[in-house]
């Protein structure tokens, strides 16, 4: 029997059986344009077209104010690991708000959810982590890292050890330190960044930098750039190296298997602290609680945010390994850093319920053993599409590269000129047909909610293929192919 041909009409339906919020799209767009400056946005061009108004979420789907359903292939923004519509998180938040909506943790006070969440995070993280510093976001977590590792080295009698090495095309946030650690030149161009004492090495992106090498050879080579930089700066001046286990915002850049073990070896050789930014990889994205476990590395600090609450309420922080925590506790005195909302009881209550869901539904195990391998099997078949030069997944995130002309070896593919912005053309077809898939240059990426089932993976990949076909036709019509 022939399979029924896929058409996106099969998924563009209003939220069946759920109350549709009554939202006047034009009215919201007007006040949005008049008053709301969106993050990372060209304000004028958004005002000209009007923002899409998202009104509802359930499971892996969201709905806009026109009743159109979309598969949220990006989990909000790498956040909604437990999926939308979790009444028990709403209930936990409601109950906590009624009991104690806020109290600070500054002046020798604490609250039960913050203490319980710290203990829970210590229990699910690798054994070197027993302590947590809470923030409200990943950016603040990375600012905390900068201050904490510099404080650590001061206390160790090495005040000159203040340089932090990061990577180009990394994303570590948008505060002054977060943006400085990030390796995006378009961020550094605005606001006089990076701040002093932060330097960058090239990223482990095989397609960009690995020509003529096997992936394994390239992994070792890319890690060697860390050693070169350490020697250039002076090992006695380097405080820490920071990296995302896989680079998310940079386009789902998956390093070769040889990369992280080499990075670990080099950090150990020079006694440099290793910071894993787990804001995206943490809480199951790679089929482990933390991406560091996937790669078998032993960081001294881990930044977290996003998936800790599945994005239901803002929360971030740093898991502090014993090596650093023991020094801060034993020798440190006051650590003059923190936020009004550090350990916010409502956010911590949301996180506790979210982690309970991830555990009780075995979502992390499922991604590792079942749906992650299935996504790999189905998504990587997209390599057969004429526009796709490379398609890869890791856990529950995936990326493909759009190419003008394919070749057996990805380095021999012909690429579109970057000014054509084919990724954005493709993204337009995805959005228009009910699929949220992000474009990062010529890479199209996804990171779906961890609740996505095998049947939903089939539905998503069929839709992606349909949209790639539409993109191909469009590019041909434009005369770009
Ligand atoms: N570290 C990493 C690895 C991140 O991905 C942050 C830190 C900062 O977290 P906050 O909570 O301060 O936003 C992030 C955030 C994108 C995109 O384009 C990714 C993020 C934020 C905005 C856009 O994929 N990640």
Strand partners, 394: 397
Q: How far is the CA of 138 from the centre of ligand 1 (A)?
A: 7
Determine the pLDDT at residue 300: 98
Contact at 8 Å (CB) between 178 and 242? no
Determine the pLDDT at residue 237: 98
Strand partners, 390: 401
The token duo for 244 is 């995302």
pLDDT in tens, 246-294: 999 999 999 999 999 999 999 999 999 999 999 999 999 999 999 999 9
Determine the pLDDT at residue 7: 60
Phi, psi (degrees; rounded to nearest 5) at 94: -60, -45
Q: How far is the CA of 299 from the centre of ligand 1 (A)?
A: 20
Q: How far is the CA of 168 from the centre of ligand 1 (A)?
A: 15
The token duo for 64 is 């806009």
Determine the pLDDT at residue 13: 47
pLDDT classification of 9: cutoffs 50, 70, 90:
very low
- Judge if the beta carbon of residue 285 lies within 6 A of ligand 1: no
Average pLDDT for 91-95: 98
Determine the pLDDT at residue 403: 98
- pTM of the shown model: 0.96
Minimum-distance ligand 1 atom for the alpha carbon of 170: 3
pLDDT classification of 42: cutoffs 50, 70, 90:
very high
pLDDT classification of 22: cutoffs 50, 70, 90:
confident
Chain centroid, CA 419 distance in Å: 26
Contact at 8 Å (CB) between 130 and 362? no
Percent of the chain's residues with pLDDT above 70: 96
- Judge if the beta carbon of residue 184 lies within 6 A of ligand 1: no
Q: What span, in angstroms and rounded, lies between the C-alpha atoms of 126 and 416?
A: 43
- Judge if the beta carbon of residue 138 lies within 6 A of ligand 1: yes
Pocket test for ligand 1, best of 140, 175, 280 (most atoms within 8 A of CB): 280
Contact at 8 Å (CB) between 201 and 225? yes
Which of 59, 39, 61 minimizes the C-alpha distance to 137?
Answer: 39
Minimum-distance ligand 1 atom for the alpha carbon of 174: 12
The structural domains of the chain, ordered by start, are 7-78+362-478 (3.90.1150.10), 88-360 (3.40.640.10)
The token duo for 423 is 């990724």
Least confident interval from 10-24, 27-41, 144-158, 384-398: 10-24
Mapped onto helix, strand or coil, the DSSP state of residue 419 is helix
Q: What span, in angstroms and rounded, lies between the C-alpha atoms of 251 and 271?
A: 30
- Judge if the beta carbon of residue 219 lies within 6 A of ligand 1: no
Q: How far is the CA of 203 from the centre of ligand 1 (A)?
A: 17
- Judge if the beta carbon of residue 115 lies within 6 A of ligand 1: no
Determine the pLDDT at residue 18: 52
């Amino acid at each position: 029997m022939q399979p029924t041909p896929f058409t996106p009409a099969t998924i563009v339906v209003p939220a069946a059986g759920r109350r549709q919020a009554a939202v006047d799209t034009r009215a919201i767009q007007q006040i949005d344009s008049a008053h709301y400056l969106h993050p990372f946005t060209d304000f004028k061009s958004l005002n000209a077209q009007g923002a899409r108004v998202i009104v509802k979420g359930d499971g892996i789907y969201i709905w806009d104010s026109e009743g159109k359903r979309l598969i949220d292939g990006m989990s909000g923004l790498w956040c909604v690991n437990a999926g939308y519509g979790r009444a028990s998180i709403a209930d936990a938040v409601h109950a906590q708000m009624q009991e104690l909506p806020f109290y600070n943790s500054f002046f020798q006070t604490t609250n039960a959810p913050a203490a319980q969440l710290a203990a829970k995070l210590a229990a699910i993280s690798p054994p070197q982590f027993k302590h947590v510093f809470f923030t409200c976001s990943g950016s603040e977590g990375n600012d905390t890292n900068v201050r904490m590792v510099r404080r650590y080295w001061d206390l160790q009698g090495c005040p000159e050890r203040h340089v932090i090495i990061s990577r180009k095309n990394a994303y570590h946030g948008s505060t002054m330190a977060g943006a400085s650690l990030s390796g995006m030149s378009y961020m550094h161009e605005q606001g006089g960044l990076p701040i002093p004492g932060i330097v960058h090495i090239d990223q482990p992106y095989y397609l960009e930098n690995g020509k003529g090498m096997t992936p394994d050879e390239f992994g070792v080579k890319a890690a060697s750039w860390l050693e070169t930089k350490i020697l250039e700066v002076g090992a006695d001046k380097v405080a820490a190296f920071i990296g995302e286990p896989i680079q998310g915002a940079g386009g789902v850049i998956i390093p070769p298997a040889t990369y992280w073990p080499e990075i670990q070896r080099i950090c150990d050789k020079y006694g440099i602290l290793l910071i894993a930014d787990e804001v995206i990889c943490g809480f199951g994205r790679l089929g482990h609680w933390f991406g560091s476990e996937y790669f078998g590395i032993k960081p001294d600090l881990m930044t977290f945010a996003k998936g800790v609450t599945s994005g239901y309420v803002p929360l971030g922080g740093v898991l502090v390994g014993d090596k650093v925590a023991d020094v801060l506790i034993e020798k440190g005195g006051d650590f003059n850093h923190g936020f009004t909302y550090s350990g916010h009881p409502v956010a911590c209550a949301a996180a506790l319920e979210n982690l309970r869901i991830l555990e009780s539904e075995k979502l992390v195990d499922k991604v590792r053993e079942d749906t992650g391998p299935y996504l790999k099997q189905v998504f990587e078949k997209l390599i057969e599409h004429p526009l796709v030069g490379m398609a890869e997944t890791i856990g529950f995130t995936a990326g493909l590269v759009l190419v003008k002309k394919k070749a057996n070896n990805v380095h021999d593919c012909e690429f579109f000129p970057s000014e054509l912005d084919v990724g954005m053309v493709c993204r337009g077809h995805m959005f228009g047909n009910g699929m949220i898939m992000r474009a990062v240059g010529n890479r199209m990426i996804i990171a779906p909610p961890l609740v996505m089932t095998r049947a939903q993976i089939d539905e998503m990949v069929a839709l992606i293929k349909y949209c790639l076909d539409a993109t191909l036709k469009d590019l041909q019509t434009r005369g770009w192919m």
